[in-house]
């Protein structure tokens, strides 16, 4: 399998993708790609959609029968089978442009920005009550995906969009090829949000998503990650512990710290358990 190399796509306002999607406004630059508002030129009146556009991770020209192409097609198919959930935008279609080594997902207009963009604009951390609601909704989305046998595995600040009501929109379920044993060499992981097992190239499990969810939870509450700017493998070697979130009580801090336990055996066994414990902390 060839080395994966990915660069942001070169796009401009007015570009036509798939012969019908005219780019109108660049919303965000995210991991390996961009998010654009676009009009469907073949429909009257014009319909607005959101495109998530990415470069295909191939370092050389590949025939359509290549296993890497097939893996991406399988990933796109998986994305279209995601269960309906308010916080998981439905993929209308996913298209490949092999000559330009580009792919894009088409969503209904999302009108959202990535967490990464909010961090850059100093709009994170959220107010405590907003963060509590946001995390609960994010956990709900991933719980539904897991109940349907779908792991995300690249959860990070670019995979979570936020609308004007501070609700999450989880995307990028389709970026991870079927061959999960090759995650690390593919370079698709988000290192600061990846568990020890992921960074060491072990088989993927639900607990890898839980670690990433825990990291994102710390981020929206405090603007910082649980181990600072240190990846999980280094945190494990140095024996670091996650810090306490000052705005939360002891019970809530215990719940969050368990989500980012460096040893998977000490982490929540399921997102459902994580969510139940988290919600219970704030029950009136």
**What sign has the CA pseudo-torsion 97, 209, 109, 158?**
negative
Share of the chain above pLDDT 90, in %: 57
Please check the confidence at residue 67 and state whether its pLDDT lies above 80.
no
Please check the confidence at residue 143 and state whether its pLDDT lies above 90.
yes
Of residues 262 and 158, which shows the higher confidence score? Answer: 262
Residue 60 CB coordination number (10 Å): 9
pLDDT confidence of residue 84: 78
pLDDT confidence of residue 73: 67
pLDDT confidence of residue 46: 81
Please check the confidence at residue 60 and state whether its pLDDT lies above 60.
no
Per-residue pLDDT reduced to its tens digit, 182-211: 444 456 788 999 999 999 988 789 999 999
Q: What is the pTM of this model?
A: 0.88
Highest mean pLDDT out of 11-15, 119-123, 230-234: 230-234
Of residues 25 and 78, which shows the higher confidence score? Answer: 25
Confidence of residue 176 (pLDDT cuts 50, 70, 90): low
- Please give the backbone phi and psi of residue 161, each rounded to the nearest 5 degrees, phi first: -95, 155
Please check the confidence at residue 70 and state whether its pLDDT lies above 90.
no
Highest mean pLDDT out of 140-149, 169-178, 214-223: 214-223
């Amino acid at each position: 399998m060839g080395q994966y190399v990915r660069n942001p796509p070169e796009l401009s306002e007015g570009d036509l993708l798939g012969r019908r999607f005219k780019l109108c406004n660049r919303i965000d630059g995210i991991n390996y790609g961009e998010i654009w508002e676009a009009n469907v030129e073949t429909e009257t009146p014009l319909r607005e959609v959101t495109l998530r556009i990415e470069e295909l991770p191939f370092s050389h020209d590949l025939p359509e029968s290549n296993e890497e192409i097939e893996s991406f097609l399988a990933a796109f198919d998986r994305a279209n089978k995601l269960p309906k959930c308010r916080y998981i935008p439905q993929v209308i279609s996913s298209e490949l442009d092999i000559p330009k080594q580009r792919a894009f997902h088409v969503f209904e207009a999302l009108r959202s920005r990535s967490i990464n963009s909010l961090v850059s604009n100093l709009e994170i951390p959220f107010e405590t009550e907003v963060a509590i609601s946001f995390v609960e909704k994010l956990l709900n989305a991933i719980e539904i995906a897991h109940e349907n046998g779908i792991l995300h595995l690249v959860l990070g600040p670019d995979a979570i969009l936020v609308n004007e009501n501070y609700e999450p929109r989880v995307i990028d379920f389709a970026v991870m090829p079927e061959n999960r044993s090759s995650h690390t060499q593919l370079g698709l992981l988000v290192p600061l949000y990846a568990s020890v097992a992921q960074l060491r190239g072990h088989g993927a499990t639900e607990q890898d998503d839980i670690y990433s969810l825990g990291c994102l939870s710390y981020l929206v509450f405090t603007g910082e990650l649980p181990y600072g700017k240190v990846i999980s493998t280094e945190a494990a070697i140095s024996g670091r512990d996650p810090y306490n979130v000052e705005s939360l009580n002891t019970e809530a801090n215990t719940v969050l710290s368990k989500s980012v336990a460096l040893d998977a055996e000490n982490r929540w066994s399921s997102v459902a358990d994580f969510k139940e414990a988290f919600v219970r902390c704030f029950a009136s």
